[in-house]
Amino acid sequence: MKKLKKYTGLLLLGIIAPFALFAADTTTPEPVPFIDAGNTAWMIVATALVMLMTIPGLALFYGGLVRQKNVLNILMQCFILTAAISLEWVLFGYSLSFGSSKGALAPYIGGFDWAFLNGIGINDVSPYYISQATARIPHLLFVLFQCMFAVITPALIIGAYAERIRFKGFLLFSILWAIFVYNPVAHWVWSADGWLFKLGVLDFAGGTVVHINAGIAALVMTLMIGSRSNYGNHPTPPHNIPLVVIGAALLWFGWFGFNAGSGLAADGLAVNAFLTTHIATATAAITWVILDWILNKKPTIIGICTAAVAGLVAITPAAGFVGVTGSIVIGILVAVVCFFMVSVVKHKFGYDDSLDAFGVHGIGGIIGALATGLLATPTVQSAYSGLFYGNPKQFYLQLIATITTIVFSGIMTFILFKIVDKLVGIRAGKAEEIAGLDITQHNEIAYSEND
């Protein structure tokens, strides 16, 4: 009888136990991230598009704007940065930007755990993502995508000192700037450890990290290197406007990878960023043409190309947070402000921002960063909203990020300029400048005498 009771109890326990365990475990298992083929395919394309922005996009845009004796120098600067910064990035730049460090340095700079991409396998899933979706991309693909941002940022500064910088000084300054300015700011804003990221600052694709950062460096470089010889006394018209148009068109095209790719997935957020990028750019272009028509009596192709770039710059931090209405507002605002910066303010104060790197990228980046704090709408990403949608704190955070980036980039650029100038010299000699940097820095000319 005792044995029967024992076996009956065990039988009942065996039947009841699974139900009891099921009832007790009410939590949903954490989904395991995996590499999604669709997301990966899109991000490979987006990465290639961002590279297209530097060479040939920016190279042709800037190259067409300078005089013909300096066009090869501009092309060479963009090309060498694509090579040099890519190497810096995989050696330690990525680790400093997105890696983790310990102690008091953690919010300000990463460590060297990922130096030489150590410990990152070909099948590892990227720890960085925008949405909570479990399907992600390979870690190495994220490294390469971010590499293209690291490449183009110092390349944007070229527009400030074009036609008057020694190649040796340019290259050393650009590499040091990437290490000591770009990497820390990228860590602050985009790394999970970064102090601005933790505050809740929004920068979808690089308003602070790329454009304010480079734009302020451009202004400092412009003031420190001085104006071109005879600046203001002789006109310096673009030598090849069709090149400018091709470069601007490639920038517009490549920027879809820059902004839509920053969602890190092939989803609705990417499509929204694609749409807002296109509409803001189109709005800026039309607004600038209207201003040109009214104030200068004729619309210009240089004007519409400059406007398109300004629109692309301003929508960059906001592309994943605003809708169509916000993108139109940003396009109008940046066109009006940048138009007066490059056509009135620059000439009034007499600084030689050769290709308007500060007037377009610096000012456009500031407008975009602050506009994000005003126009971010929860209809795009429910977790984020700006001042106009009931969250005044977001504008305050955007203001903090903007001011911090301006101060840091300005001070560090000043210091690096002084160091490099002492080491190798930065300003080209007057004779070199008159002869042209193509022949004096590279011993080449772009066009034969018969062209």
Tell me the backbone φ, ψ of residue 34, rounded to 5 degrees.
-145, 160
Instruction: For 41-186, list the strands marked E by DSSP.
Output: 135-136
Give a yes or no: residue 23 inside a domain.
Answer: no
Residue 284: closest CA among 238, 251, 241, 320: 251
Tell me the backbone φ, ψ of residue 296, rounded to 5 degrees.
-110, 5
As a residue count, the chain comes to 451
Residue 308 neighbours by CB under 8 Å, 6+ apart: 248, 251, 252, 281, 284, 285
CB 283 within 8 A of CB 328: yes
Give a yes or no: residue 31 inside a domain.
Answer: no
Mean pLDDT (whole number) for 328-356: 95
Structure tokens that stand for 142 in this block: 């994220």
Would you place residue 449 in the very low, low, confident or very high pLDDT band (cuts 50, 70, 90)?
Answer: low
Would you place residue 242 in the very low, low, confident or very high pLDDT band (cuts 50, 70, 90)?
Answer: very high
Which pLDDT tens digit goes with each residue over 51-100? 999 999 999 999 999 999 999 999 999 999 999 999 999 999 999 999 99
DSSP-derived 3-state class of residue 97: helix
Distance between alpha carbon 376 and the CA centroid of its chain, in Å?
19
Give a yes or no: residue 176 inside a domain.
Answer: yes
Give a yes or no: residue 17 inside a domain.
Answer: no
Mean pLDDT (whole number) for 152-163: 97
Give a yes or no: residue 30 inside a domain.
Answer: no
- Return d(Cα 318, Cα 330) in angstroms, integer: 9
Residue 369 neighbours by CB under 8 Å, 6+ apart: 203, 207, 208, 212, 317, 398, 401, 402
Structure tokens that stand for 360 in this block: 């377009």
Cα-based angle 346, 251, 321 (whole degrees, multiple of 5): 90
Give a yes or no: residue 428 inside a domain.
Answer: yes
- Return d(Cα 72, Cα 112) in angstroms, integer: 36
Would you place residue 103 in the very low, low, confident or very high pLDDT band (cuts 50, 70, 90)?
Answer: confident
Which pLDDT tens digit goes with each residue over 185-205? 999 999 999 999 999 999 999
- Return d(Cα 222, Cα 199) in angstroms, integer: 32
CB 135 within 8 A of CB 125: no
Count of structural domains within the chain: 1
DSSP-derived 3-state class of residue 348: helix
- Give how far Cα 83 sits from Cα of 80, 145, 164, 181, 422, Å: 5, 15, 22, 19, 25
User: Position 12: which residue type?
Assistant: L
Indicate if the pLDDT at residue 229 is higher than 70: yes
Residue 347 burial (CB < 10 Å; 0-12/13-18/19+)? Answer: exposed
CB 359 within 8 A of CB 345: yes
User: The domain that contains 410 carries what CATH number?
Assistant: 1.10.3430.10
DSSP-derived 3-state class of residue 67: coil
CB 319 within 8 A of CB 275: no
Q: How high does pLDDT run on average in the chain?
A: 93
Residue 300 neighbours by CB under 8 Å, 6+ apart: 292
- Give how far Cα 218 sits from Cα of 52, 223, 435, Å: 22, 9, 24
Which pLDDT tens digit goes with each residue over 398-441? 999 999 999 999 999 999 999 999 999 999 999 999 999 999 99
Give a yes or no: residue 451 inside a domain.
Answer: no
The answer to whether the bond into 242 is cis (omega within 30° of 0) is no
Give a yes or no: residue 15 inside a domain.
Answer: no
| Per-residue DSSP letter, 267 | S
- Return d(Cα 311, Cα 328) in angstroms, integer: 10
The fraction of the chain above a pLDDT of 90, given in percent, is: 86
- Which residue did the predictor score with more confidence, 21 or 126? 126
- DSSP string covering 379-445, please? TTSTT---GGGT-HHHHHHHHHHHHHHHHHHHHHHHHHHHHHHHHT--BPPHHHHHH-HHHHHHS--
Among the ranges given (97-106, 128-137, 274-283), the one the predictor scored with the smallest mean pLDDT:
128-137
The pLDDT value given to residue 23: 47
Indicate if the pLDDT at residue 337 is higher than 90: yes
Indicate if the pLDDT at residue 207 is higher than 70: yes
- Domain range enclosing 221: 38-442
Q: Kind and range of the H or E element at 303?
A: helix 301-315
